[in-house]
């Protein structure tokens, strides 16, 4: 019996919608805050948030400290409502019959649990930046995912940002850019069916 390849998927922009920039635009219009100021805040806190240096609560506390008019409970609800499954997520059950599926994402588990729970049984591993203390494009998060691979030969990594391919390429993984139209799913299905 041939060995299954490893399929490594990003989450935001691949399996689920990316909450940014919609979330920041929503805050700007809802609370009358300059969009550019929100982007500055995001830029300043991004890495600490993604690698888990700060808690989710600290993120919201810092946001409210800088922008007191923002209602945190409503803002969090809005953020979660913007993270919805993309059509590709429906492919996971069938792909899991042909490949070991691994998720590798810069994210917070608290924000994507509702995306992961329905597909959990089809996943071999899940590597979330805030849980492991490293984020893409740094090599260490790819190396963490590498420990879950079964060395079956082929590894295909799908991400919606080319800048995240460097670490994957260093480990010898094949890469595929997830286009907004979702045509990449047909390429994955075709590769897995070979």
Contacts of 28 (CB under 8 A, 6+ apart): 34, 35, 38
Can you tell me the mean pLDDT for 131-144? 97
The CA distances from residue 12 to 18, 84, 114, 154, in Å, are 5, 9, 13, 23
- Reported as type and span, the H/E element at residue 192 is helix 184-192
Section 48-69 average pLDDT? 97
The answer on pLDDT for 170 being more than 60 is yes
Q: What is the pLDDT of residue 2?
A: 61
pLDDT tens digits for 99-136?
A: 999 999 999 999 999 999 999 999 999 999 999 999 99
- Residue 11 above 60 pLDDT? yes
Q: How many CB atoms lie within 10 A of CB 95?
A: 18
């Amino acid at each position: 019996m041939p060995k299954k390849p490893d399929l490594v998927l990003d989450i935001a922009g691949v399996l689920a919608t990316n909450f940014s920039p919609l979330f920041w635009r929503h805050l700007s219009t809802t609370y009358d805050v300059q969009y550019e100021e929100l982007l500055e805040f995001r830029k300043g806190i991004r890495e600490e948030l993604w690698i888990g240096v700060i808690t989710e609560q600290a993120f919201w506390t810092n946001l409210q400290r800088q922008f007191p008019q923002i209602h945190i409970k409503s803002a969090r609800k809005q953020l979660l409502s913007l993270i919805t499954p993309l059509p590709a997520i429906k492919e996971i059950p069938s792909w899991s019959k042909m490949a070991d599926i691994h998720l590798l994402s810069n994210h917070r588990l608290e924000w994507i649990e509702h995306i992961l729970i329905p597909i959990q049984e089809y996943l071999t591993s899940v590597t979330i930046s805030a849980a492991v203390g490293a984020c893409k494009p740094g090599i260490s998060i790819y190396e963490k995912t590498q420990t879950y691979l079964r060395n079956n030969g082929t590894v295909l990594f799908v991400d919606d940002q080319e800048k995240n391919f460097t670490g994957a390429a260093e480990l010898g993984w094949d890469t595929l850019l997830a286009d907004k139209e979702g045509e990449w799913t047909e390429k994955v299905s075709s590769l897995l069916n070979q």
